[in-house]
Amino acid sequence: MVDSTGLYRTVRLIRRFEERAIELVRSGDIVGGIHPYLGQEAIAAGVCAALRTDDLVTSTHRGHGHVLAKGADPARMLAELAGKATGLNRGRGGSMHAADFGIGVLGANAIVGAAGAIATGAAWASQQAGTDRVVVTFFGDGAMSQGVLLEAFNLAALKRVPVIFVCENNGFATTMRVGDAVAGTIAGRPAAFGIPASTVDGMDVEAVLGAATEAVDRARGGGGPSFVECHTYRFDAHHTWEHKAKPRYRTDQEVAEGRSRDPVDIQGARLADDVRERVDAEVEALLDEAVQFALDSPKPDPIDALAHLYADGTRPRAGVV
């Protein structure tokens, strides 16, 4: 089990990774922007701390935290964001599709709610294979109104598969408030399918770990799916595009209130000052190396732009003959 220091290290790593990535967006080294995970770090860190390396996760467009918390190399992750050949996906996926199958990250999915059914199928197959592997699928409050996710709840409950649905309720689907998008309650929806649902403070990594452990134990023990709603707040933009466009959908006061409960500080306060400083320094050194690696890495060769399109190596016809 990961200790308090380990949990802090992960939230801090994600926090600083995102801040460094935003700098690289501003410098133009990351093209296309990112969906920052700032404020939500405790969820990825707490949930993944309850998992084994061979357990599986699916991630989202706001997915850097999940991939890092599952154990991906920050240098190869950052190289992927920068579109480099050394990236996790060889520069073919970028921020919204980062994947690391070697450690069970089945990919970030850029269609809201789309991964729930994929995770359910992977959980079914894992169970059929006789393993006690579990699958976690992360998604936001916005996904709760996506039909295919609700269908996945039904399938997961019917087949009693080892999948854990983790809803990161940050209050907003892009700019729409959760109250304007979700009738009834979020946790009431999985409950209607007979899926045990809990609600937890998503700003407290140890609380998240507790709720996730309960759900993982249930899944591993053959008890079927669970649902964990994590209350959180998105500190930064929906997408870095907002830094320039500055759409107004929440007040400065509201953002300040949201940021007043900071998952990094909450966990940091549980550590002795010198321990926290040491971890911060380690994380910074790791990210210094990661940034350098990403910047120094070669770009992929355009001649291979459609490599990997087919598993059997088929290359499609060119656009001009």
Q: What gap in Å lies between CA 156 and CA 172, rounded to an integer?
A: 26
Write out the binding residues for other proteins, residues 145-164 only, by CB under 8 A.
Answer: 147-148, 151-152, 154-155, 158
Closer Cβ to other proteins, 10 or 89, answer by number: 89
- We find the least distance from the C-beta atom of residue 140 to other proteins, in angstroms, to be 18
Q: What gap in Å lies between CA 283 and CA 52, rounded to an integer?
A: 22
190 belongs to the binding site for other proteins (CB under 8 A): no
Closer Cβ to other proteins, 1 or 321, answer by number: 321
Closer Cβ to other proteins, 29 or 151, answer by number: 151
Q: Which of 21, 23, 127, 36 is nearest to 77 (CA)?
A: 21
285 belongs to the binding site for other proteins (CB under 8 A): no
Write out the binding residues for other proteins, residues 55-74 only, by CB under 8 A.
Answer: 56
Q: Which of 101, 65, 45 is nearest to 236 (CA)?
A: 65
125 belongs to the binding site for other proteins (CB under 8 A): yes
Q: What gap in Å lies between CA 113 and CA 141, rounded to an integer?
A: 9
Closer Cβ to other proteins, 91 or 258, answer by number: 91
Beta strands in the chain, from DSSP E residues, in sequence order: 56-60, 105-109, 135-140, 163-169, 172-173, 176-177, 197-201, 226-231
- We find the least distance from the C-beta atom of residue 37 to other proteins, in angstroms, to be 20
Closer Cβ to other proteins, 52 or 308, answer by number: 308
Residues near other proteins (CB under 8 A), total: 49
Q: What gap in Å lies between CA 286 and CA 124, rounded to an integer?
A: 37
Q: Which of 194, 191, 207 is nearest to 270 (CA)?
A: 207
- We find the least distance from the C-beta atom of residue 311 to other proteins, in angstroms, to be 4
Max intra-chain CA distance, the chain: 66
Helix-helix angle 205-220:41-49, to 10 degrees: 40
26 belongs to the binding site for other proteins (CB under 8 A): no
Structure tokens belonging to residue 298:
């070669």
Taking contact as CB under 8 A, which single stretch among the options 18-26, 164-172, 205-213, 312-320 is the one that binds other proteins? 312-320
306 belongs to the binding site for other proteins (CB under 8 A): yes
Chain contacts with other proteins (rule: CB under 8 A): 56, 87-93, 97, 99-102, 106-107, 109, 111, 114, 117-126, 128-129, 135, 147-148, 151-152, 154-155, 158, 306-312, 314, 316-317, 321
